[in-house]
C-alpha cells in the first residue's frame, strides 16, 4: 500500500474465485493477516462463471502479480486438474481450495477446509475418534471434511445425490485405511456428528439437506455454508436440541493455514 492508503504498483494479488462470490467472507480477514505479516498483498473476490473456468485460469496464470487463489464452490474439484501439482491431502480429497504460483512458475494446490473444520470441532470439545459421522455432500468441501475426520479415527457414512461420486470418495478413503460406507438416503440415524457439506442453505428457497425430524438431541450438527451464519438447517437442529457448529467456523479456523500457504507463493513470506 502507498502512504495514501491506496494500492500501489507493488501490490501482490490473490483472487477468491467462485460462482457466485457474493457470500464469501474470507477477503477482509485474509488481507488483514497478510498486511500484519508485512506483505503488500490483497485477496479480492472474482466471480468466475463455471463454464469459463479453464480459460479464466489460463488468463490469470499470465498476470504477473497474481500469486495465488482461494477457491470456493463450484470450482474446487475442477481446479485440481488445472494446477501443475497438488499436495498428498488434496490428491486424496480430489479437490483444492488453494492454489499458489511457485518460484519456478508452476502452480501448486492444497485444501485446508478439513483442517479448519477439525480445528473448530477441537475448540468445541468434540473428539471425532471412534465416533460416527454422517456427511451429506461428497464434493470439494465434503471430501475435505471426510478426509480429515477419517484420518482422525471417525467412522463415516457418506451420502450424495451423485451416488457414484460418494462411492468414489468412499473407495479412496478405504484405500487410505478409513472406516467408510455410503448411504442410499440422507438418513443420519445413529450418528454422533451430522455434517451438511452441500451448498443447500445459501438461499432461502433451498430445501433442507436432511429431514430435521431425523435429528436427535445427542447429535452435533455442523454446516459448511457460511452465509447466512445460522442456516435454516442449523435453526431446525437447535430446535431439536442439537449442539451446532456454524459454517463460518470452517473459515475462521483455517485462515492461518490459508494465509501461510498463499504467502509461500514466489517466496513472499
Using CA atoms, how far apart are residues 179 and 195, in angstroms rounded to an integer? Answer: 17
- Candidate list 12, 75, 76, 157, residue with the active-site label: 76
Active site residue 76: yes
User: What's the half-sphere exposure (Cβ side, CA atoms, 13 Å) at 267?
Assistant: 3
Contacts of 72 (CB under 8 A, 6+ apart): 16, 17, 18, 21, 24, 97
| Helix intervals (H) in 37-131 | 53-62, 76-79, 88-93, 113-124
Strand bridging mode 107-110 / 98-101: antiparallel
Using CA atoms, how far apart are residues 242 and 256, in angstroms rounded to an integer? Answer: 29
Contact between 48 and 74 under an 8 Å Cβ cutoff? The reply is no
H or E, element range at 109:
strand 107-110
Contact between 111 and 76 under an 8 Å Cβ cutoff? The reply is yes
Contact between 47 and 21 under an 8 Å Cβ cutoff? The reply is yes
Q: Which of 119, 181, 107 is nearest to 144 (CA)?
A: 119
Using CA atoms, how far apart are residues 204 and 222, in angstroms rounded to an integer? Answer: 18
Using CA atoms, how far apart are residues 262 and 68, in angstroms rounded to an integer? Answer: 6
H or E, element range at 238:
helix 232-239
Catalogue the active-site residues: 76
Amino acid at each position: 500500500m502507498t502512504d495514501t492508503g491506496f494500492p500501489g504498483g507493488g501490490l501482490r494479488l490473490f483472487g477468491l474465485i467462485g460462482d457466485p462470490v457474493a457470500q464469501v467472507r474470507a477477503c477482509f480477514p485474509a488481507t488483514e493477516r497478510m498486511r500484519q505479516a508485512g506483505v503488500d498483498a490483497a485477496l479480492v473476490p472474482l466471480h468466475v462463471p463455471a463454464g469459463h473456468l479453464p480459460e479464466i485460469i489460463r488468463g490469470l496464470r499470465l498476470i504477473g502479480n497474481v500469486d495465488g487463489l482461494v477457491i470456493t464452490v463450484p470450482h474446487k474439484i475442477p481446479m485440481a486438474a488445472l494446477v501443475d501439482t497438488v499436495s498428498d491431502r488434496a490428491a486424496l480429497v480430489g479437490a483444492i481450495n488453494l492454489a499458489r504460483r511457485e518460484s519456478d512458475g508452476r502452480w501448486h494446490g492444497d485444501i485446508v477446509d478439513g483442517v479448519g473444520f477439525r480445528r473448530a470441532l477441537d475448540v468445541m470439545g468434540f473428539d471425532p475418534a471412534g465416533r460416527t459421522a454422517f456427511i451429506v455432500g461428497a464434493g470439494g468441501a465434503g471430501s475435505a471434511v471426510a478426509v480429515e475426520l477419517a484420518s482422525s479415527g471417525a467412522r463415516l457414512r457418506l451420502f450424495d445425490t451423485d451416488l457414484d461420486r460418494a462411492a468414489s470418495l468412499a473407495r479412496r478413503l478405504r484405500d487410505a485405511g478409513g472406516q467408510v460406507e455410503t448411504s442410499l438416503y440422507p438418513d443420519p440415524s445413529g450418528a454422533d456428528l451430522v455434517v451438511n457439506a452441500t451448498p443447500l442453505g445459501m438461499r432461502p428457497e433451498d430445501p433442507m439437506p436432511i429431514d430435521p425430524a431425523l435429528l436427535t438431541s445427542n447429535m452435533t450438527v455442523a454446516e459448511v455454508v457460511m452465509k447466512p451464519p445460522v442456516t435454516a438447517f442449523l435453526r431446525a437442529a437447535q430446535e431439536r436440541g442439537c449442539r451446532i457448529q456454524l459454517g463460518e467456523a470452517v473459515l475462521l479456523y483455517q485462515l492461518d493455514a490459508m494465509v501461510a500457504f498463499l504467502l509461500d507463493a514466489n517466496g513472499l513470506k
